[in-house]
Amino acid sequence: KQEVTQIPAALSVPEGENLVLNCSFTDSAIYNLQWFRQDPGKGLTSLLLIQSSQREQTSGRLNASLDKSSGRSTLYIAASQPGDSATYLCAVYFNQAGTALIFGKGTTLSVSS
């Protein structure tokens, strides 16, 4: 069964810390992987899409890495801010075409000032 797992389920850090969110998936033969942010009661905001041929993708203070052989992706957030507090979701395309994303349950991040 194709599954996506995110650990930890929740994380609390003080403002200014660098942090890493983890995502693992059961099938190394994935295509693309997408990271999202979800604020309470809101929809999902796309942060980054990493294509299967890439190892890293960067956007501002965010850096996402992909290691297909180990079935893992990480989202690195530099110099965290209270505004980063949200739930971060990892989602995987297990096929290239004609398929939907399979999501993890997310990591809820709280950054205190």
Partner 1 sequence: GAGVSQTPSNKVTEKGKYVELRCDPISGHTALYWYRQSLGQGPEFLIYFQGTGAADDSGLPNDRFFAVRPEGSVSTLKIQRTERGDSAVYLCASSETSYADTQYFGPGTRLTVL
Closest alpha carbon to 1 in 107, 98, 102: 102
Choose between 60 and 100: whose C-beta lies nearer to partner 1.
Answer: 100
**Could you list the residues that contact partner 1 (CB under 8 A)?**
4, 31-32, 34, 36, 42-46, 49, 51-52, 89, 91, 93, 95-106
Closest alpha carbon to 89 in 52, 60, 57, 46: 46
The CB-of-109 to partner 1 minimum distance in angstroms stands at: 15
Written as six digits, the tokens of 63 are 């850096």
Choose between 6 and 80: whose C-beta lies nearer to partner 1.
Answer: 6
